[in-house]
Every structure is written in structure tokens, then in C-alpha cells.
Chain A
Amino acid sequence: MRAELALILALLLGACGSTPKPVDPPRLRAALEAESDGARRYERGDYAVAARRFAEAAKLHAAIDDATGVARNRLHLARSELVLGRDEAALQLLDATDSGGDAGFALDAWMLKAQAQLGLGRADDARISLDEAVALCAGACPHAAGLHLLRARHALAEKRAADSLAHAGAALKLLQGKDNAAETGNAWRLIAAARHAGGNATDALVAARAALDIDRRLALPEKIARDWLLIGDILRAKAPAEAATAYRKALAVAQAAGLDAITMIAAQASQDIGMQK
């Protein structure tokens, strides 16, 4: 009993005498918590709320003159805007973002800009952004795979199927053994599209199905619907009935997920193939 009492007293004395844990200032803590909450929501697919939280975090960081925090959260916000399909808003945000001389932030910003410009169909602007990004991504750049994928998208937009296939293949090689299923799915989708554009329907179908498998595993409705559209496009010339099935699946997924734009594309594709048959 005496030993236990001595132990408890020793613990109490130790607790009282230990150095107090340094606590972050409340405003910085609030900003980091807003950012962390936004990241959690982004991971859950709640992009609209995530965007609001990142905007709030950027404001909180700005209030304490933390330029790094502001830049980081503006990039998060731009990423959320891109997922939400608000490419123009993302581009404006990125134009107004000062990376503060941080090469990592600058590279992120150029890549996101290229993404927005490709989404808006501005291939020439995207090339400029991609050139800037490539200049910043030398050596063992962790964004090399993503950059290859964007260059593959850009090449595809400029109807350079061979270049697109080369970049997508390079990206896939870099992604092997890495835990990045989303980018791997993007790589397969681009390979499929490039092969399809190059007239290799058989291999294109294999790649498109690989992309579909990954996107199904990740449960990403927009990508699944677009994969089905791509499969329909690939099959359209040789197997119209199977293509029609693929378009119907794309339509069903898009309708269930409330994706209006893809619903319209899939409905139009179904209609076209119906007329073709």
C-alpha cells in the first residue's frame, strides 16, 4: 500500500514537474482544423463543403499573415472547384494565387491550371502551363506521373494519338507499385482513348475495361459513366449492339448519380446508335 502511494505521488510530481506541451496559437489551430476538416470532406467526396472549408482556412491563414497556409488552401480550393466542374472559377483562383516562391506550390498551381484549361478546351493555354510545370518538375519529381498524364490529355486534345499514348504509358510505368489507383485509372483511360484514336480498337477496349475496373473499385460514378461512354465509342464501329448496351449503362449510371451533362451525352449517343442500327 505504501509502495502504491509512493508510486502515485511520484507520478503526480512527475506530471506537475514535466514541461508543458507546447500548444499552437488558437488562430493557427483554427486554420489548420478548417483545412483538415476540408481534406476529410474532400476524401469523402463532399467537394462543395470541402471547398467552403478550404476557403475558410485560407481566410484564417491570411488573417495571421501565413502566406504558405494561404497558398496551400487556395490550391486545395482550386482542386475542389475542378472536381465540381467549375474550371473557370478554378482558373481565376489559380491566377490570383501567389505561391510565394515555393517550387512545390508553383508546380501544383501550373498543373491545376493546365487541368482547368484542358477542361475548358484551351489547349494552347494548357501547353504554356504544362511547359512551366515541366520546367519545375525536374529529376525525381513526385508529380512526374501526373504531369505525363496531363501531357497525354493535351496531346489527345491536339489529336496527337501517338504522343498521348507515349505519355500515358510513361505515366503508367511510373505509377506501378504506387498506391495511386485514381491516377492509374486515368492512365488506362488515356491509353484506351489514345489507342482508339489510333485505330486500335481491340487494345483500346482492354485498356478501357481496365480503367472501368479501377473506377468501379474506387466507386467514382462520373468516371464509371465516362468509361462506359468510351467503351461504347470503341465498340460502335464493329459491335453496335454492344455499344448501345455500353451507352445505356453510361446513361443509367449518370442518371442514378444525377450527372446531367453525362446523362445528355449518353442519351444522345444512345439515340445516334439507334438511328445507325
Chain B
Amino acid sequence: MSLLTQHDADARSVRRATRRFLLVAILVTLALMAAIFVRQGLLRQTVSYSFVADTAQDIAKGQAVRIAGFRVGSVTDVDLRDDGSVAVKLDVDADHARFVTHDARIELRKEGLVGSPTMEIVPGADKTRLAAAQARLAFSRADGLGALANQVRDEFIPILKDIKAITGALADPEKGLPGTLARIRASSEALNVLLANGNRQVEGIGGTAIRVLGKAEEDLTHLGQTLEAANKRLPGMLDRTRQVLDHVEKISAEAEASVPPALRDGSAVAADVREIVGGAKQTWPISSMVDAPAPARLKPDSDPRGEAGRAR
């Protein structure tokens, strides 16, 4: 009898333990399910927004949505529209919807320039009005590495074009530096020829004049002839002078147009280059390799222009 009584007691005890175990298991399961729901956002209140993008590149369902770096929601839907654009829906926790102003925009950013893409809601300037639920927000993509490279390229291309144009203009045999120098040389040669001719003519005129003056008492008519000759020669000389001056003027005008501004600022450019080279020279390790020059000594020359031999 006592054995049966003992058996009943044990059976009850086992049943109680089983019930307790099942209860705990159910509670744990419920807690887990609740956690999953919470994690999945099924139990939280959210506000939906949308935006339209040109492409779905770097946008995916479930992608985190952040405000100031904090995760506040996720992308819920990515759809291709009839017009080829992409409609994106996202949910933001109701608690954080207060940051989504009516002029807020959504920016697709890369973590650390090349990291995974994240959706960042950037609140607008007007904090007085919040975006309504289901509102369509503006969307933009922050510059990634490729975009930055493109930007750099866009900025460099005009500079490279300028450099190409300047070097091209300098090298141009017609209008560039060689051409300009050749024209200046030609013009200076023309001036030299003119000077030589002028000297010869003036000498001729002067010599004739002196001879005529020496005989002035004998024959004044010679002086008249000489002056007449001079009158005949002078207009030619003046005409040539004018031609040469016109030539020089033309060259100056052409040089103004064809010599690039960089050349006109030559001294500034040279100063800049000196500055750069000087700076480089002062930088380790170049500074330790390049010695500062010693004070200069010029070779003495008591008569650098050779004037001693003949009076000036």
C-alpha cells in the first residue's frame, strides 16, 4: 500500500516538473518570437517615406536608413517603375520621424569612401514643418571614389587644355615664341640696315654739304644742288623709317596677341618657380644634399667696355 502511495507522489512530482519545463519553454519561445518581431520591426510604429532614384545601384531592400549615423529605419521596397526610374520605399521609426523635415533629403553614402552604401536622411533647414507620412523626399548620391575621380578629372581637363594651349602657342613657329623672336630679329635687322643706310646717306649729305660750304664763296649754286639732292633723299629715308616703324608697331601688336599672358607674367612665374625649387631644396632630404652656395666672387675687369684704348 505504501509503495503505491509513494509511486503516486513521484508521478505528481514528475508531472509538475514537466509542466514547469513546458511553461518556461513556451515563455522563452514567446520571448524569442517577440525579440524577432521587435528586431524585424513588426511591432514598432513606423512612418513610411519614398523617393525616386535613376538607378537601383547600391540600393537594396532591408538596407539601413540612418539619421546622423544612427539606424532609424530600413528600405522596405525597391521597384522599377514604368518610366525606368526606381521607386524606393523606406520606413523610419515613428520616434525618429521628428527629424524628417519636409525639405529633408535622402543621401546614399559610402562608408569611408569605398565602404558599404548607407542611406542617410539629411534634415533640411526648415525645422518647423515635418514631412508627412508617405511623403516623397529628394534623393541624391554622395560622391564616391569614382565620382571624386570624375570631379578631379573635370577640374584637371581645362588646366591641361590651358597648358597645351600655352605650350602650343609658345612652340608655334609662326605666332609663337620662335616666330615672334624671328620677327623681332628681322625687324632689328631692318632697323640696323636702315641705320646703316641712314648713316651713309647722312654722311654723304654731310660730306657734300661740307665741300659745298667750303666753296660757298665761289659757287652758291652748288649748295642749292646739294640741298636739292638732300631733299630728294630725305623723303625716301623718312618713308623707309615710317615703314620700319609700322613694321615694329605691327610686331608689337602681334606679340601682344600671340604671346600668352603667362609670358607677360614671366618674372612672376620665374619667381614662383624659384620659390618652388627653393622650397624643395629646403626640404629633407634634399636640404642635406644641396649646400648653400658660397658668397660669389666676380672676376675683376678694370675696363669691361674696353674704353681705355680710345676716347668715347
Contact = CB atoms under 8 A, between A and B. Distances in A.
A99 interface: no
B306 A226 contact: yes
A185 to B, nearest CB: 8
Interface in A222-259: 222-223, 225-227, 229-230, 233, 255, 258
Contacts of B303: 115, 149, 153, 186, 189-190
Contacts of B296: 35-36, 38-39, 72, 76
Contacts of B304: 79, 82-83, 182
B62 interface: no
B309 A211 contact: yes
A69 B295 contact: yes
| Chain B facing A: main interface SS | loop
Interface stretch (B52-60, B94-102, B133-141, B286-294): B286-294
A154 to B, nearest CB: 10
B7 interface: no
A160 B210 CA distance: 34
A48 interface: no
Given A263-B195, A267-B199, A275 B308 contact: no
A181 to B, nearest CB: 9
A42 interface: yes
A32 B299 CA distance: 18
B293 A275 contact: no
Contacts of A263: 195, 199
A177 B192 CA distance: 41
Contacts of B203: 267, 271, 274
Interface string B264-303: 0000000000000010011000011000111111111111
Q: Which among B282, B307, B310 has the greatest number of chain A C-beta atoms within 10 A?
A: B310
Interface in A109-135: 111, 115, 118-119
A156 B303 CA distance: 13
A266 B52 CA distance: 89
B312 interface: yes
B295 A32 contact: yes
B295 A189 contact: no
A150 B196 CA distance: 34
B295 A72 contact: yes
A115 B210 CA distance: 38
Given A29-B292, A32-B293, A227-B306, A271 B207 contact: yes
A172 interface: no
B306 A208 contact: no
A14 interface: no
Contacts of B278: 26, 29-30, 33
A261 B306 CA distance: 13
A258 B188 contact: yes
Contacts of A185: 306
A144 to B, nearest CB: 11
Contact of B302 (A149, A227, A258): A149
A192 interface: yes
A180 interface: yes
Nearest to B206: A271
Contacts of B12: none
Given A76-B296, A111-B302, A23 B287 contact: yes
B300 A226 contact: no
A190 B308 contact: yes
Given A183-B300, A255-B196, A33 B292 contact: yes
Contacts of A42: 298
Interface string B241-279: 000000000000000000000000000000000000010
Given A192-B309, A193-B310, A28 B300 contact: no
Contacts of A183: 300-302
A186 B292 contact: no
B81 interface: no
A59 to B, nearest CB: 13
Interface of B: 188, 192, 195-196, 199, 203, 206-207, 210, 278, 281-282, 287-288, 292-310, 312
Given A20-B288, A26-B282, A258-B188, 8 more contacts: A24-B292, A42-B298, A85-B305, A153-B308, A182-B299, A189-B309, A230-B310, A265-B310
- 8 closest Cβ pairs, A-B complex: A39-B296, A223-B306, A36-B293, A226-B306, A230-B309, A24-B292, A149-B302, A189-B309
